[in-house]
Amino acid sequence: MKTSLFVLLLAFACITSAQSWPAWVLQSQQSDEYITAVGIGESRLAAKQAALADIVTQLSVDVSTEQVQLSSKQNTQSTGYFQQTTSLSSLPFTLTGTEELNSAEQANLFALQLGVKKSVIVNTVKADLSVLFRVSPSDKNSEQRFIWALQYSGLLSDATKKLAVLEYLSGAQPLIRTRLNTLLTDQSSALNDVACDVVGALSAHEIKSALNDALPHSGNTQLWMRPQLRWYYANSKNSHSAKAILSLALTRSSSPFKVLLQHDLHAQETGATTNAAKQKVIQNLVQQLKAPPSTWLFDI
Q: 90-105, pLDDT tens digit by residue?
A: 677 888 888 999 999 8
Geometric angle at alpha carbon 244, from 242 and 250, rounded to 5°: 170
Quick one: what percent of the chain has pLDDT higher than 90?
66
pLDDT at 87 over 60: no
Q: Residue 17 has what pLDDT?
A: 52
Q: Give the pLDDT band of residue 59 (cuts 50, 70, 90).
A: confident
Report strand pairing: 6-8 vs 67-74: parallel
CATH 3.40.47.10 fits 194-295, yes or no: no
Closest to 188 (Cα-Cα) out of 158, 218, 162: 218
Note whether 248 and 263 are within 8 A (CB).
Answer: yes
pLDDT digits (tens, 9 = 90+) for 25-34: 888 778 889 9
**Cα–Cα distances in Å, from 60 out to 88, 91, 172, 270?**
7, 6, 17, 33
- Residues 145-164 have a mean pLDDT of 95
Please say if the pLDDT value at position 84 is more than 50.
no
Does pLDDT of 70 surpass 80? no
Tell me how many degrees the CA angle 135-141-142 measures, rounded to the nearest 5.
85
CATH class of 6-119: alpha beta
Mean pLDDT, rounded, for 68-82: 40
CB 80 within 8 A of CB 70: yes
> 21 and 106 in contact (C-beta within 8 Å)?
yes
Average pLDDT over all residues of the chain: 84
What is the mean predicted confidence (pLDDT) over 39-59?
Answer: 90
**In the structure, what pLDDT confidence band is assigned to residue 81 with cuts at 50, 70 and 90?**
very low
